[in-house]
A = this chain, B = another copy of it.
Amino acid sequence: MGHRRPNKVTQLDIARLAGVSQSTVSRVMAGDPKVEPELRERVLQAARLHSYLPDARAQSLRRRESGMIGLVIKRPRGGLAGDAFFSNLIGEIMDRLHDAGSRLCLELVHGDENEVSVHEALLRSKRVDGVILVESVVHDSRLELLQRDRFPFVLIGNPMRSHVWSVDNDNVAAGALAAEELIRSGYRRIAMLAGPPGITVSEDRILGYSRALDAAGMPCRIWHSDFGIEAARLVAEEALAGPMAPDALVVLDDLMAMGVVLTAREQGLRIPDDLGLVSFNDTHLCHVLERGLTSVSLNIEALVREAVDCLMAQIRGEGPSEPRRILVPCQLKRRGSSAPLPRGEEALR
């Protein structure tokens, strides 16, 4: 046993074996209808016999498209870890892409360090035909680069001032939805546990939260935390201490909400009686809490469907040429963590 590379069989080999020219093989493989049926059969048989398969690299070099699309997820190192939201997203994208006949090249970006180099490695080097970007900071330098180079891409997230194709939840509405649920349930000191400053999802939900509280004549109180269960737990420790601590929290995602749950437990706070909770993403985590965690469902399937369709249209050069921002509606899943308070004073309502 020796040879490193297997199957060095090429189109030319098949051609010889079938007694035709290489271009005929090419035509047969491409399904060209104007090939004599007899020749076609000879070729197909030879191809099958030697289990020939076209070289994807040569193909994409020639026909100038790789049949791959890139997925770039921006998260701090280890930030993907354990977040079911991304499993969902990736799974959904894969299924959708499979139907479109493309494969996926996954890329993780941690900080600002390599965001540009990723853009280069993936796009300018023509490794992929287009890119889906997930999440963004408020001012994302990649967008300008991609735009300048006229590269097919779609952002899953809020493009802010950039005029690009994007698909997003209406996170302002979502933030308001979450806050209103708590207001309606009778909580009085409703704070928000947000993500790191500058993350658009976070900022948008903060905005929605703020508007809802303003409208109800209640004061806003906002804490920022890094992603992840542990970071949130620590910030919650601070937030939930003291006599003026909030009696309800809008939390940026389910994972962080679990951090809050841990702290609440430590401090002997019962949910929802001592602390109301609403979060986002509606992952499996929501079912795990004793009486369930109220969460805003993002409708990932629709999000992905829109994003992939939009990207594919760009790649094919179809569709309206003007970038558009597509909004996918959210939906509140009401569960026990935001149930109406059984306090005496609530009887007045």
Contact = CB atoms under 8 A, between A and B. Distances in A.
Contacts of A23: none
A151 B321 contact: no
Q: Which 4 A-B pairs have the closest CB atoms?
A: A80-B91, A56-B125, A6-B149, A82-B84
Interface stretch (A198-206, A239-247, A257-265): A257-265
Contacts of A61: 55, 57-58, 61
A290 interface: yes
Nearest to A233: B287
A160 interface: no
Contacts of A317: 4
B87 A82 contact: yes
Contacts of A6: 149-151
Given A60-B57, A126-B55, A284 B95 contact: no
Contacts of A107: 94, 103-104
B120 A108 contact: no
Interface in A84-122: 84, 86-88, 90-91, 94-95, 98, 103-108, 120-122
A210 to B, nearest CB: 29
Nearest to A316: B4
A251 B246 CA distance: 38
Contacts of A81: 84, 87-88, 91
18 contacts: A53-B125, A55-B126, A56-B121, A56-B127, A82-B84, A82-B87, A82-B283, A83-B87, A84-B87, A91-B108, A94-B107, A94-B108, A104-B105, A105-B105, A255-B284, A262-B287, A284-B285, A285-B285
A24 B61 CA distance: 22
Contacts of A287: 229, 258, 262
A288 interface: yes
A64 interface: yes
B91 A150 contact: no
